[in-house]
Structure formats: C-alpha cells, structure tokens
Structure 1
Amino acid sequence: MDKPKPLSKQASKPKKFGVLAEYDSAAAIFKACEKVRDAGYKRWDSYTPFPVHNLDKAMGLKPSVLPFIVFACGMTGAACGLLLQWWSSTIAYPLIVAGKPLFSFQANVPVTFELGILFSAFGAVFGMLGLNKLPQLHHPLFNVARFTRVTDDRFFIAIEASDPKYDLDKTRKLLEATDAVAVEEVDD
C-alpha cells in the first residue's frame, strides 16, 4: 500500500486574505483612510457601523457608474414601451377609431413613463447587486472575532493581499502608524 504524500510547505500554509486594522472612532478611520490612499493601495476597503461623511473621498473612490446604468435601463424601458404601443396600434391591430390617427404619442405617455420607471428600478437594484458583488455568502473577515463589532461600535480597514503594493511588514507598519487599536493578519 502506498504511503500518502506529505503536503508541500506551500499547501500546508493557509492562504492569506490580508491585514485588518481596528479603530475606535470615525475621525480615526477617516485619517487612516487618507494615509492608506496616499500610500497607493488599490485593493482595500473600510467598514463602519454607520455612514461616515466624506469617507469615500478620503478613500479616493471614483464616482459610481450606477447612475448611468439606471439611466440606460430607464431609456430602454421607455423605448420598449413606446415601441410596443406603436407596433400594436399600427402593425398588429390597425384600427381607426373616430377618425383618429393609428398612433399618437400623447396617448402613450403614461405607459412609456411607467415602463421607464420600472426598468430604472430594475437597473438600480440589479446594478447595485452586481457592482457590490452581492450576494456574497462568505467573506474571510467573517472569521475574525473582532470584526463582529463592525455593526456595533468599531471601525475597520482591510487591505487585501492581492494588492500590488502589499507587503505584510510594510502594510502592518503603515496601519500601526495610523493609531489603530489592533492590527492582525487574516486567513482566506
């Protein structure tokens, strides 16, 4: 009977997600986000129990493309609604009633408007879910005991190991220099 092969050193090490830093106030995480942004990290995020005003600017986030998705979906819905009404009244069932034209856009405004709103709502919901990569049933940060306080009274910054600038020692020193309450490495 063959002996089982020993695991290689690479396989025995758990894969690392990155580094997690904990802060005790909104002002502290705001300053820390500015330092992480200025250090040039790209794959990182902040987690707060409530919205922190201008934190997106401190992180250097670009404006969302969601408004363009919503607008495109709304215009698609309005165009589809108008096209369907035009086709049904001029091609499929061309009935002349009381000498009126086969198609008059004024009579079709309510349906066109409502389909524009409906498609915009779908674009907003599904666009947001797609851009946020949701639903995400598991995240490595869920395994960190400290991270459970993020919905209560703590603030966190997580820098991913997949970031091009990531170096464990340099990243840890950067986060410790931001007056973090605690800094720890997170397994994937």
Structure 2
Amino acid sequence: MKPDDLHGIIASFETQEHLLAAARAARDAGFSPLDAYAPHPVEELTEALGHRRSRLPYFMFLGGLLGGVGGYFMQWYASVVDYPIDIGGRPLHSWPAFIPPTFELTVLGAAVTGFFGVFIASRLPKPYHPVFNLAEFSRASQDRYFLCIEAADADFQPENARRFLESQQALTVTAVPK
C-alpha cells in the first residue's frame, strides 16, 4: 500500500498505561499527528499526545461579552433613543432594570459560542472516519486502547511507524487505508 493511500498506522494496546507510554514515546520520537482511542476517558492522554490547550474558552468569553454588550445596548437604544417614554418622572436610562436581561444575554452568548465552537473545533459531524473500517476497532468501546500515527505529515514513513509501534508492546499493528 502506498503512503498516499494510507490514513495512518494504528496499534492496539491492552492497558491504558501501555497506551500512555506509547503516546509519550511517539511524541518524543517526533511522530505527528497522533490520535488515540480508549473505551473511557484517560486524563493524561491529551498531554501525552502533545495536544495544546483549546482556545475555546477565550472565544466563549468574547461571545459572552458580545452578548452582554449587545443586550445592554439594545435595551438602552430602545428606551432612550428609539421609543422614550416618560413615566412618573423616572429617568429614561434606568440601568438597574437592564441588568437581568444583560446577564441572561451574556450567558446565552457564551453558551451558543461554546456549543458551535465545540462542533467546529471537533470538525463534527463526521459520519465517516477511516479507522471505523478496521474489524478490531469495535473493541475501542469495550476493552482495547488504540494509538494511530497519522500519515498527514510529509515525512511519514509507514515502515518506521510500524516498527516503532511494534516496539511499544502493541498487541496488533495495522495499516489504516483512506
């Protein structure tokens, strides 16, 4: 199989400790990009794969800030500029009345930004992924741990990746076609 026809090389491991050790070793050996699959969340796996922290919280903060400022401006514009009503001599810009809707729109802006940000960052929906074609990959939701060295790098050498994964106590090592 030619490197252009490969998604990557995947290895299965029996325990999460073996997976973590292999992921750290692969990152240290310069393999990139890496992806891992486990039947349950593994805390140290993100760091072991070398993934950086998400920028999503910053975008959520900006979404919340935009929602709050937009909500406050909308109320101010409606009550002071567009449709001022003088009732009982109260000021047109009565900011304490604007606080609850402003808070709600701040939360709504952050939540909507977070919701769509997760889908965009995760590249969802993704109805097809090449690893789904492997017969043994169904065990990734049961009792096996998988590490995939993807062929997205220009310097990817399938035989080097295969030899490396075999040296990491992998149960099986398989090429993943596109």
| TM-score above 0.5 | yes
Unaligned runs of 5+ in 2: none
Distance 1:79 1:41 in 2: 45
Distance 1:152 1:49 in 2: 6
Match of 2:12 in 1: 22
Deviates more, 1:164-173 or 1:124-133: 164-173
Q: Deviations over 1:104-134 (max 9, x none)?
A: 2211111000011111111111100100000
Counterpart of 2:131 (choices 130, 138, 141) is 141
2:144 is equivalent to residue 180 of structure 1: no
Match of 1:168 in 2: 158
2:26 is equivalent to residue 36 of structure 1: yes
Q: In the comparison of the two structures, how many residue pairs are matched?
A: 177
Residue 147 of structure 1 deviates from its aligned partner by 0.7
Unaligned runs of 5+ in 1: 1-9
2:126 is equivalent to residue 109 of structure 1: no
Distance 1:168 1:25 in 2: 24
Match of 1:74 in 2: 64
Distance 1:153 1:60 in 2: 24
Counterpart of 1:130 (choices 112, 116, 120) is 120
Distance 1:41 1:165 in 2: 9
Aligned-residue Cα RMSD (Å) equals 1.5
Q: Secondary structure at the match of 1:22?
A: strand
1:125 aligned partner, one-letter code = F
Match of 2:75 in 1: 85
Whether contact under 8 Å (1:40, 1:165) holds in the other structure is no
Q: Which runs of 4+ in 1 moved over 2 A?
A: none
Distance 2:4 2:167 in 1: 27
Match of 2:54 in 1: 64
Residue 41 of structure 1 deviates from its aligned partner by 2.1
Match of 1:7 in 2: none
TM-score (norm 1): 0.90
Percent identical: 36
Residue 174 of structure 1 deviates from its aligned partner by 0.9
